[in-house]
């Protein structure tokens, strides 16, 4: 075995021992949480003085099996570091979320998505096994064949059933470049019909589609972005400089073409945090020229946003201008594709937020894990129907506050429910306990919680997602 692999495995083993030691050092009545340098959660959370568990040795890639096309990865490893390691072998995770600092463990326990999700599903569907630190202080290996209940309930549990310290995931081969086609639509129904055809056939105009997402700028201006892997060399665009990726999508023609390196394609949204860097002036040409490239990334904008929230800078500015404070509306929702146009029409008429991101998804292989054979219905905390297509709709901005706390977010929750959709739990939620249990597998969750966290050392999912604990 190569020395580098032995060193990585030894370092990981030592990291697990430090994690366990920090857990055991806590008083038996203390709540447990991780010490994390970054977070992609956008929920308002209660302040805590609790000491976080030591995760310092759980941030790397442990081993890559090129022949088997698998990787063993520490739970706190970011996708930025994971992809850098796998691309050296011409491989990539099956789903790579858009932001560099999302961790593999976070994407599995909190659900990630990207433009391969129409063919590869969600990140947890390519997990073969996980080592999980439970609330009982044990590190257990969960897979489709052992501790199966924990394995199935872990996705969408947001660390309330345990923390993944190692995950073995499948990889797939990639080409050096991605050729892009941006299709313009003047009617949302037409866009969604085309999206559905691509999901069903995997092609558009006879050309294979490997990556598929879209952007809605208004009711009569929307786009599908189709990506196809290629090894053919040629000129590529660079959106880490003055040019901005989402602006390159817009055009008056029916179809435009573009080309990126594979790495730049993966992080096309990260440089400007989709379009949210505009709030910090990073899209103003004069400011962008002096904004260091290494700071043009989502993690920097997230830190700036936290400072803004801490000192309420935005609300102070609104007050000075005689305007009300603003409600943060940062959400991703999943709608059945046949109800998506109805939701978008309602949203554009009701919520003053544009652009809107669209990302189609379908459970992998018709709802079956091709390695284990487990049913797609085995993910009880975020139940999606096998063989059914959904669209993730993402919108991230603010609106004027209403007369009720979270008024716009509550309206969106209600409309998503009426259309038989789901909402991701990384941001503020307002469900009643009964509503939450119905949507997010309450009975299945409690059974697993009682078995693996009998003393409730970890937070309850409802308390964390809705009560902001």
pLDDT digits (tens, 9 = 90+) for 386-410: 999 999 999 999 999 999 999 999 9
Beta bridge partners of 216: 222, 356
Least confidently predicted of 9-13, 39-43, 299-303, 424-428: 39-43
Distance CA 129, CA 132 (A): 10
> Do 10 and 1 touch, CB atoms closer than 8 A?
no
Least confidently predicted of 39-48, 206-215, 266-275, 424-433: 39-48
pLDDT higher than 70, residue 372: no
The torsion region of residue 130 among left (phi > 0), alpha (psi -120 to 50) and beta comes to: beta
pLDDT higher than 60, residue 366: no
Distance CA 211, CA 225 (A): 8
Within a 10 A sphere around the Cβ of 429, how many other Cβ atoms?
Answer: 24
pLDDT category at 3 given cuts 50, 70, 90 is low
pLDDT category at 371 given cuts 50, 70, 90 is very low
Distance CA 454, CA 159 (A): 15
Of the candidates 268, 294, 295, the one whose C-alpha atom is nearest the C-alpha of residue 281 is 295
pLDDT tens sequence across 170-193: 999 999 999 999 999 999 999 999
- Give the mean model confidence (pLDDT) for residues 143-162: 96
pLDDT tens sequence across 49-81: 556 889 988 999 999 999 999 999 999 999 999
pLDDT higher than 70, residue 309: yes
Q: Length of the chain, please?
A: 469
The pLDDT assigned to 320 comes to: 80
Distance CA 392, CA 157 (A): 19
pLDDT tens sequence across 18-34: 999 999 999 988 888 87
Distance CA 423, CA 429 (A): 9
Of the candidates 221, 263, 228, the one whose C-alpha atom is nearest the C-alpha of residue 246 is 221
- Give the mean model confidence (pLDDT) for residues 358-367: 85
- Give the mean model confidence (pLDDT) for residues 362-370: 67
Beta bridge partners of 220: none
- Alpha carbon 243 to its chain centroid, in Å, reads 25
Q: Where are the domains of the chain?
A: 3-174+461-465
Tokens 């709608």 locate to 335
Distance CA 469, CA 461 (A): 9
pLDDT higher than 80, residue 469: no
> Do 100 and 78 touch, CB atoms closer than 8 A?
yes
Question: Max CA-CA distance within the chain?
Answer: 67
The pLDDT assigned to 44 comes to: 64
Q: In whole numbers, what is the pLDDT of the chain averaged over residues?
A: 92
pLDDT higher than 90, residue 237: yes
275: burial class by Cβ within 10 Å (0-12, 13-18, 19+)? Answer: buried
The pLDDT assigned to 134 comes to: 96
The pLDDT assigned to 376 comes to: 41
**Torsion 143-144-146-151 (CA) sign:** positive
Higher pLDDT residue, 347 or 368?
Answer: 347
Distance CA 210, CA 260 (A): 14
Show the 3-state SS of the chain. Answer: CCHHHHHHHHHHHHHHHHHHHHHHHCCCCCCCCECCCCCCCECCCCCCCCCCECCCCCCCEEEEECCCCEEEEECCCEHHHHHHHHHCCCEEECCCCCCCCCEHHHHHHHCCCCCCHHHHCCHHHHEEEEEEECCCCCEEEECCCCCHHHHHHCCCCCCCCCEEEEEEEEEEECCCEEEEEEEEECCHHHHHHHHHHHHHHCEECCEECCEEEEEEEECCEEEEEEEEEECCCCCCCCCCCCCCHHHHHCCCCCEEEEEEEHHHHHCCCCCCCCCHHHHHCCCCHHHHHHCCHHHCCHHHHHHHHHHHHHHCHHHHHHHHCCCCCEEEEEEEEEEEHHHHHHHHHHHHHHCCCCCEEEEEECCHHHCECCCCCCEHHHCCCCCCCCCCCEEEEEEEEEEECCCCCCHHHHHHHHHHHHCCCEECCCECCCCCHHHHHHHCCHHHHHHHHHHHCCCCCCCCHHHHHCCCC
Distance CA 330, CA 146 (A): 37
> Do 209 and 198 touch, CB atoms closer than 8 A?
yes
- Give the mean model confidence (pLDDT) for residues 264-276: 97
pLDDT category at 306 given cuts 50, 70, 90 is confident
- In the CATH hierarchy, which fold is given to the domain comprising 3-174+461-465? 3.30.465
Give CA torsion, residues 416, 421, 427, 428, to 10 deg. 40
The pLDDT assigned to 4 comes to: 55
Distance CA 443, CA 141 (A): 23
The pLDDT assigned to 47 comes to: 63
pLDDT higher than 50, residue 373: no
């Amino acid at each position: 075995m190569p020395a580098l692999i032995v060193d990585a495995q030894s370092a990981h083993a030592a990291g697990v021992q430090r994690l366990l030691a920090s857990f055991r050092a806590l008083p038996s009545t203390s709540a447990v949480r991780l010490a994390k340098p970054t977070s992609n959660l956008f929920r308002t959370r209660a302040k805590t003085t609790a000491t976080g568990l030591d995760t310092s040795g759980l941030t790397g890639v442990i081993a890559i099996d090129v022949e088997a096309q698998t990787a063993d990865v520490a739970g706190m490893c970011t996708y930025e570091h994971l992809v850098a390691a796998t691309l050296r072998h011409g491989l990539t995770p099956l789903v790579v979320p858009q932001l560099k600092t999302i961790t593999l463990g976070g994407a599995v326990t909190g659900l990630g998505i990207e433009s391969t999700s129409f063919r590869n599903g969600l990140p947890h569907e390519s997990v073969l096994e996980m080592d999980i630190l439970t609330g009982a202080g044990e590190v257990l290996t969960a897979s489709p064949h052992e501790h199966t209940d924990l394995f199935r309930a872990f996705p969408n549990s947001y660390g309330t059933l345990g923390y993944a310290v190692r995950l073995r995931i499948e990889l797939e081969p990639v080409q050096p470049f991605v050729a892009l086609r941006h299709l313009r639509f003047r009617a949302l129904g037409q866009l969604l019909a085309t999206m559905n055809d691509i999901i069903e056939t995997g092609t558009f105009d006879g050309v294979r589609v490997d990556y598929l997402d879209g952007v809605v700028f208004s009711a009569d201006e929307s786009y599908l972005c189709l990506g196809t892997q290629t090894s053919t060399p040629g000129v590529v665009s660079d959106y880490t400089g003055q040019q901005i990726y989402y602006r390159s999508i817009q055009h008056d023609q029916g179809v435009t073409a573009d080309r990126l390196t594979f790495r730049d394609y993966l992080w096309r949204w990260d440089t400007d945090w989709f379009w949210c860097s505009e709030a910090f002036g990073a899209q103003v040409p004069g400011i962008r020229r002096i904004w260091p490239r290494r700071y043009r990334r989502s993690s920097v904008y997230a830190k700036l946003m936290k400072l803004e929230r801490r000192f309420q800078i935005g609300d102070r500015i609104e007050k000075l201008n005689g305007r009300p404070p603003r409600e943060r509306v940062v959400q991703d929702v999943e709608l059945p594709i046949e109800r998506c146009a109805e939701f978008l029409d309602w949203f554009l008429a009701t919520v003053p937020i544009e652009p809107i991101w669209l990302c189609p998804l379908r459970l992998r292989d018709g709802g079956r894990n091709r390695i284990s054979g487990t049913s797609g219905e085995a993910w009880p905390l975020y139940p999606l129907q096998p063989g059914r297509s959904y669209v993730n709709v993402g919108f991230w901005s603010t609106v004027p506050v209403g007369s009720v706390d979270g008024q716009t977010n509550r309206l969106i929750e209600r409309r998503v429910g009426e259309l038989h959709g789901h909402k991701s739990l990384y941001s503020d939620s307002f469900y009643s306990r009964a509503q939450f249990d119905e949507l997010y597998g309450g009975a299945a969750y409690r059974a697993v919680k009682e078995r693996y966290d009998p003393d409730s050392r970890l937070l309850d999912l409802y308390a964390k997602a809705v009560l902001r604990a």
